[in-house]
Amino acid sequence: MVSQSSSVGYTIMGKTADLTVVQKRTIDTLHKEGKTQKVIAKEAVCSQSSVSKHINREAKGRKRCGRKKCTSNRDNRTLERIVKQNPFKNVGEILKEWTAAVVSASRTTTHRRMQDMGFSCPNPCVKPLLNNRQRQKRLDWTAADWSKVMFSDESKFCISFGYQGPRVWRKRGEAHNPRCLRSSVKFPQSMMVWGAMSSAGVGPLCFLRSKVNTAVYQDVLEHFMLPAADQLYGDADFIFQQDLAPAHSAKATSTWFKDHGIPVFNWPANSPDLNPIENLWGIVKRKMRYARPKNAEELKAIIRATWALITPEQCHRLTDSMPRHIVAVIQAKGDPTKY
């Protein structure tokens, strides 16, 4: 049976109900201001005894219940140091090294302690390995008129994705920490697709049937890049962006660009996080995550259909994000970023 009183609030079977979070905050605030318990009870809409009990409970503090932990703070610091030294170890390997330091704990306890420290175990982000020279070159960027840049790149698409490699122990905010990254491997065996975008939208796709050499790449430029430029820019000037793959940086390719009067962006090596089309590939692949193509032709059809759904507004937002990419690279001192 529930009854209500104008002075003491709700009671259940003759017992005062637990205070709500709002009531507790009200009591704490008014108590700090030096208000009397009678005034506090009226403002919090509860009994004066409830106010008194809450204030006394907060002043004394509740004694911690439950079994005492089997590991000390020193043991936990040792565990955190072990995880940080090699975050790619599994729980069994971490437990073995931890118990070697005269610590008695189970696998479950080890896992729980790492979770208490803020560690989770997702798949690691894959980023290209950068040397010091490449890192420094990535810092030499300033904000520019990115709408005049046509971004291009190749990306691989698989019918099914296989083993993703070992997971990595890391804390919140450490996804792009160099020690938590797994280096990517160039040119894996898969279907490669070439595409281009600008702030105005996307160009036509090119499915690459063979290894991209200088002749193949020039054919892509002739039959796909030039039509994309006409579609996205018309008669306006633009700058073409490409990475430093061998076929892209070959002398014959440079001559092709000079003969066609197309300026090429001076692009730093191993910098996919500076290229917004990488984010666009990610959007396409996320849209395809529930697709189950049975063969290469079905995969091509799904890629084309998904690519056609990309809107100019999406491309414009990605291009506008370039200043943030630059700021992130500068803050990371040239190391990989979240982009």
Could you report the per-residue pLDDT of 131-153, keeping only the tens digit for each? 666 555 544 544 456 788 899 99
CA distance 6 to 130: 70
Q: Tell which residue, 312, 284, 279, 314, has the closest CA to residue 299.
A: 284
Phi/psi-derived region of residue 205, left when phi > 0, alpha when psi is between -120 and 50, beta in every other case: beta
Q: Tell which residue, 267, 256, 156, 260, has the closest CA to residue 214.
A: 256
Could you report the per-residue pLDDT of 85-100, keeping only the tens digit for each? 888 889 999 999 898 8
Contact criterion met (CB below 8 Å) for 171 and 117 = yes
Q: Tell which residue, 156, 227, 161, has the closest CA to residue 196.
A: 227
Residue with tokens 């600008």: 198
H/E stretch holding 6 reads none
Kindly provide the residue ranges of all beta strands, DSSP E only, lying in the chain, ordered along the sequence: 2-5, 9-12, 15-16, 126-127, 149-157, 182-183, 191-198, 201-202, 206-208, 239-240
**Residue 221: its pLDDT value, please?**
95
pTM: 0.51
- Between helices 91-99 and 73-85, what is the axis angle to 10°? 130
Residue type, 135: R
**Residue 174: its pLDDT value, please?**
87
Per-residue confidence at 281, pLDDT binned at 50, 70, 90? very high
Residue type, 4: Q
The mean pLDDT of 216-242, rounded to a whole number, is 93
Could you report the per-residue pLDDT of 9-61, keeping only the tens digit for each? 444 334 445 788 888 889 998 988 888 999 999 988 899 988 988 888 877 66
Buried b (16+ CB within 10 A) or exposed e, 140-149: ebeeeebeeb
**Residue 14: its pLDDT value, please?**
40
